[in-house]
Amino acid sequence: MQSRDHAPPAKHNSNADSSTNAESKSHQSTKGSSGEPQTKASATAETDESKEKPAAAPNEESAVPYDSKTNGALQVMTLAKESSTWFDVQQNGKRPFSNAPPLLNNTLELAPGIYEVTVNNTRRKVTIAVGKKTVLWTGELVVVDGKKEKGGFWAPFQDDQRKVMTGEPLVNSSTPLFAGKYSVKFWGSVRKDLGEAEVKAGQRTVLTPDLGKVLPPR
């Protein structure tokens, strides 16, 4: 598979079509809906308040009818209406399409079968069926801070593997990821280990660099 770590995605697959999705509102609260801190780095999980999405967070995977007698389809959703992040699809180590991977929130028509879906080095396996569209939801992770750390950046990790496909996101920039637990590192005026954050489908988890363990300089 050709690496796409440092190149923006080309024009996405012609089979992709934009779908209405939820737009997240970011809050800087240090507690979740239960009132308990979610991580030692002040993480909160948020659900969107938009009328375009039900109040309850969506299931990570669901299926809806798809108008085809021979193929099915896949749609990978994120909270932002317009996302520059793309999702990749492979079957037996090969892409089943010739164009560049589609951007999140778009639909990709596929032959029935089992596929591996990748978003920012996080993966899921899906089964595509004739006449059905499989809908996958990512969650989002963001480190929020004011002007003090405006130039800082951060990255999520699992087992020391960096879970971003391009460069590390800047502070106040969210990153789509499939649901899971991630260790987060922050680079600003000081390096910090922000601890563990849990990402949930259809929700945004917010961290602040106010807490966390200061790391020695590189």
pLDDT digits (tens, 9 = 90+) for 6-17: 344 444 444 444
Q: CA of 64: how far to CAs of 21, 74, 135, 150, in Å?
A: 15, 10, 8, 42
What pLDDT is attached to residue 131?
98
What is the architecture of the domain spanning 61-137? Sandwich (2.60)
Q: How far apart, in whole angstroms, are the C-alpha atoms of residue 186 and residue 205?
A: 15
Q: Where are the domains of the chain?
A: 44-49+139-215, 61-137
What pLDDT is attached to residue 85?
95
What pLDDT is attached to residue 215?
60
Strand boundaries in 13-106, DSSP class E: 44-46, 61-65, 72-77, 88-90
Measured in whole angstroms, how far is the alpha carbon of residue 33 from the centre of its chain?
21
* Pairing status of strand 153-158 against strand 174-177: unpaired
Q: How far apart, in whole angstroms, are the C-alpha atoms of residue 59 and residue 211?
A: 31
Residue found by looking up tokens 């892409």 in the block? 95
The pLDDT averaged over each successive group of 10 residues in the chain (218 residues) is: 40 43 38 37 43 68 97 97 94 93 97 97 97 98 78 91 90 94 91 94 91 62
> Are 44-49+139-215 and 61-137 equal in CATH topology?
yes
What pLDDT is attached to residue 211?
65
What is the architecture of the domain spanning 44-49+139-215? Sandwich (2.60)
Residue found by looking up tokens 């089943």 in the block? 96
What pLDDT is attached to residue 169?
92
Q: 138-162 burial, b for 16+ CB within 10 Å, e for fewer?
A: bbbbbbbbeeebeebbbbbeeeeee
pLDDT digits (tens, 9 = 90+) for 119-131: 999 999 999 999 9
Pull the structure tokens for residue 136: 């996958």
What pLDDT is attached to residue 188?
84
Radius of gyration of the chain (CA): 18
Query: Which pTM does this prediction carry?
Result: 0.72
